[in-house]
Amino acid sequence: MSIIVETQNLTRSYGATTLALDSLNLQIPQGAIYGFIGPNGAGKTTTMRILTTLLLPNSGAAWVEGHSVVKHPKAVRKAVGFMPDFFGVYDSMKSWEYLDFFAASYGVPAARRQRMIGDLLDLVDLSHKRDEYVMDLSRGMKQRLSLARTMAHDPALLILDEPASGLDPRARVELRELLKELRALGKTIMISSHILTELAEVCTHIGIIEQGRLLASGDVATIIRSLQPHRIFEVHLLSDLEEAANLVRDLPGVLDVRTFPEATSPMIEIDYEGDDSSVSDLLAQLITSGMRITHFAGQHSDLEDIFLHVTEQTMLPIMTTSTAEQSVDKNVAPK
């Protein structure tokens, strides 16, 4: 999988005391929805502003589609659509005029703009608001219009800084569905948030940043496996719990067994280390031994579990799913 965004030892400080980014090494695969997760002040916005050429690093380097953000800012801007956390709108403009203005700013020919504006309004479900003034739109509609504006020049990469901030639950659901649709259209999306539930259902990859350091980065499934090498299975039974626990306790791959007789539905928990074929054998062993099972399922970690695990120690080494060094330009911006 090709890499569309890469940073190497990216460092940025504000004044003599505030280190916003501390040697950040980041890779985002093309076609990913990359959730950039961290608390307020972790360095998310600083990273995004550097990637969009709005801020220079003190040291290190960054590339978008192979273009240096320092040496080739114009090429980077053509490749990126940026939606900041606080975006400006022109209240006296109608929705279509707002999009037309930004498309013209990016040099989109007038002959293409009319159809493009209609397509973008359709994409973000605002065709019925084409002639409405921006000032009269709801916050959710303004967010969707701003997202349409980031795509006016058809960039390969969308960088969205806290796009769901201030949205009601329905608008957040609509935004998530729109992000999935954009990925299906071939866009790569980098989206930041400190609210994990906003990203849990949509991200293919995540990066966890705290105090300017990248603590973990990679595809969600691989990170979960690296943090939880064994799996926990819940088994709800009508049979005797102790009998079931004794049956599986000495089987290969079983690390621990716990009984919960007082649960609403009596169950055992099995810490198990093995592949899916072994799990199938485990279940078959229970059934052939006469255990009356009403529920058998593995527990799954979510983004909150990952975040809490990784940030327990802010000095953890970086975890990444990338195994190959990328060929990169070694030049860096001047300090």
Q: Please check whether the two domains, 3-225+304-320 and 231-298, share a CATH topology.
A: no
335 pLDDT higher than 60: no
Check residue 262 and give its pLDDT: 84
Give the pLDDT band (50/70/90) at residue 290: very high
Report yes or no: 87 and 67 within 8 Å, Cβ to Cβ.
no
| Average of per-residue pLDDT across 212-224 | 83
pLDDT digits (tens, 9 = 90+) for 9-42: 999 999 888 899 999 999 999 999 999 988 888 8
The pair of structure tokens assigned to 304 is: 């909150």
Report yes or no: 236 and 301 within 8 Å, Cβ to Cβ.
no
pLDDT digits (tens, 9 = 90+) for 86-137: 766 677 899 999 999 999 998 899 989 989 999 999 999 999 999 999 989 8
Boundaries of every domain in the chain: 3-225+304-320, 231-298
The pair of structure tokens assigned to 118 is: 């209609």
The four Cα atoms 127, 133, 137, 143 give a dihedral, to 10 degrees, of: 70
Q: Sign (positive/negative) of CA torsion 62, 106, 158, 211?
A: positive
| Average of per-residue pLDDT across 318-326 | 40
Average predicted confidence (pLDDT) for the chain: 85
Least confident range of 125-129, 141-145, 234-238, 331-335: 331-335
Assigned CATH topology for domain 3-225+304-320: Rossmann fold (3.40.50)
Report yes or no: 190 and 209 within 8 Å, Cβ to Cβ.
no
pLDDT digits (tens, 9 = 90+) for 186-216: 999 999 877 666 676 788 998 888 899 998 8
Check residue 291 and give its pLDDT: 93
Give me the phi and psi of 225, to 5 degrees please: -65, -35
The pair of structure tokens assigned to 188 is: 């790569």
| Average of per-residue pLDDT across 218-235 | 77
Percent of the chain at pLDDT exceeding 90: 50
334 pLDDT higher than 80: no
278 pLDDT higher than 50: yes
Could you tell me which of 61, 59, 70 has the C-alpha nearest to residue 11?
Answer: 59
Q: Which CATH superfamily is domain 231-298 in?
A: ACT-like. Chain A, domain 2 (3.30.70.1150)
| Radius of gyration of the chain, Cα coordinates, nearest whole angstrom | 24
The pair of structure tokens assigned to 69 is: 């953000």
pTM equals 0.74
| Higher local confidence (pLDDT), 264 or 50 | 50
68 pLDDT higher than 50: yes
Alpha helices, DSSP H only, in 124-216? 139-150, 169-184
